[in-house]
Amino acid sequence: MNQVTTIKLSPPYLIFLGDVADLMSAKTGAGLVQWCPDMVVGQYRTSDTGVDLGVPDLNIEQAVEAGAKSLVIGVALVGGAMSQQWAPLLNKAALAGLDIVSGLHTDLADIPGLADSAKQAGVKLINVRRAPATLPIGNGRKRSGKRVLMVGTDCAVGKKYSALALSKAMNERGMAATFRATGQTGLMIAGSGIPVDSVIADFISGAAEVISPDNRDDHWDIIEGQGSLFNPSYSGVSLGLLHGSQPDAIVVCHDASREFVSSCADYRLPSVKQCIQLNLDCARITNPDVVCIGVCVNTSKLTVEARQAYLQQLSEELELPCIDPILDGCNALVDKILTLN
């Protein structure tokens, strides 16, 4: 039985951002704008000083007039909770004929009045962050096909972007590669996957096995990572995903400007070298032959000169390709993968 969650959204989307002021909190909306720009008509911000995704500012009436079919909550707050202050606006959007789409842990049906508004208007409430009701425990059995897993020095360092960029580059070079979503934004982009941070702990590795089933020997699954082994808040999800993915290769993702763990400010980020070693040590429990093929670095906050120097120095230190997947593309990683076949 196929237990991968499949969702069907109705584009185009109005991205709801509320008053969030930092891009990390708006990563769901940013991901949709980056990877599905043709499906986004605009953003709805409740504060002019909030984060700007570079798409038109629209209110609900303007969005409906522009053809929007869904309001997507583009905010990913720590802990995944939803602000009850959004209730009047979400009810208004539903009554205006927009499906309401959320990747947060809070069930949309628990928002005061929203279920009634949706029923009245004949629209859908779509909770993306819902794991299948039944999942197997991990069995550790060696699966056919090949897998690359994105791992990170912290949360929100570019694991999803790197996986999408790598799968795109591999497809463009004629390779059989599929992006496998493990988070809410990835599911919205790919249309299927399992939100592993909603899976009961005993079944996380089993969920990872379900996400990436047996395949042809020449097929690569490019698996979106979650959290970090070095983040005390979310390391359990990261380890279960690492064991269940049984990767043949890992790519370490890192933000060049970050010094401390995002949810635990008393913890310094590890070095990339430390991150590679710990992830390989843990991954070898289910695949003794796993290797690291490179590093994807978010260099968006560095100058051009500093970016080039940083990547060159890191590459020389690790003797691996070190790239910014958005600015440089992923051909260097693809070249490395081809040496593994």
Q: C-alpha dihedral over 293, 247, 327, 58, to 10 degrees?
A: -170
Does residue 39 have a pLDDT over 70? yes
pLDDT class for 79, splitting at 50, 70, 90?
low
| Model pLDDT, residue 8 | 85
Give the C-alpha distances (Å, rounded to integers) separating 161 from 101, 105, 328.
Answer: 21, 22, 13
- Alpha-helical (H) ranges within 26-183 are 27-35, 60-65, 87-95, 114-121, 159-172
pLDDT class for 24, splitting at 50, 70, 90?
confident
31: left (phi over 0), alpha (psi -120 to 50) or beta: alpha
pLDDT per residue as tens digits for the range 91-132? 999 999 999 999 988 899 999 999 999 999 999 999 999 998
Average pLDDT of every residue of the chain: 94
Q: Which residues pair with 16 in a beta bridge?
A: 44, 73
List the domains of the chain with CATH numbers.
5-127 (3.40.50.720), 146-338 (3.40.50.300)
Residue 194 near residue 5 (C-beta atoms within 8 A):
yes
pTM: 0.91
pLDDT per residue as tens digits for the range 245-277? 999 999 999 999 999 999 999 999 999 999 999
Element (H, E) at 323: strand 322-323
Residue 138 near residue 231 (C-beta atoms within 8 A):
no
